[in-house]
Amino acid sequence: MSKLLVFRHVAHEILGTLDPLLRNSGFRMKYVNFERNPDAKPKISNYDGLIVLGGPMNVDQTDEYPNLVTEIEIIKRAIDSQKPVLGICLGSQLLAKALGAEVRKNKKPEIGWYDVTPTPEGTKDNLISRFDGTEKIFQWHGDTFELPNGAVHLASSHYCNNQAFKYGNNIYGFQFHLEVDTRLIERWLKVPENKKDIENTNGEISSEVIWQQTPKHIKRLIDLSNAVFGQFFDHFELKEKVHTLPSR
């Protein structure tokens, strides 16, 4: 049974649909909640892989969030040990930072449903090749990462060129959110800090529009998350079959 370390930054940024997929696939998970315990220093050597979740902070806000320094060091150790790593949103930015790439403000925030298109390299990748061309994917970010040296560019969107990358054979950064379902999106739209993100777009982004679009795209997103995350699990020595989630 593989043991997985999971970094969490805020209460509403969770594994989402990844949680039952991981449990049904035989993983044992250890959460590190840096919001509650910013001084935590887990040992990656005790685990078989790492998932780094999202959060509203910037990777350079280390004075306010000193745990970000710890996380980057642990990510580096995981990479050096050739352990599977998955970074989602902030997690992808921390992964890029650990690999020496710059993280900066995106030209505009992406909040809601956006077209994400695999690159030519992405169409050949075991995970991103599960996309059926351009797909509507859920997003919530204001920052972006430069592509790390040696990484493979896997996907892009109109407003954010670097949506996904792979480093080596088993290290992935996803700027987008494949892990959300309807309930989680509803929760995010009610978070005060998230409401401010939308208000700061001066009407360019609307929570009502996001909510209207969600029933149109959520079934495909969950099907895609089952396929993509299920393929990522193949990087672990698991014998159990992945039990996919129903689309809803």
Residues designated as active site: 89, 177, 179
Q: How far apart are CA 243 and CA 230, in angstroms?
A: 9
Angle ∠(216,220,223) on CA atoms, nearest 5: 150
φ, ψ of residue 232 in degrees (nearest 5): -65, -35
- In contact, 126 and 226? CB cutoff 8 Å: no
Residues in the chain, total: 248
- Strands (DSSP E) contained in the chain are 3-8, 28-33, 49-52, 85-88, 103-118, 135-145, 152-156, 164-167, 171-174
Cα dihedral 171, 175, 178, 181 sign:
positive
Task: Tell me the C-alpha to C-alpha distance, in Å, between residue 172 and each of 92, 105, 211, 231.
Answer: 8, 21, 29, 12
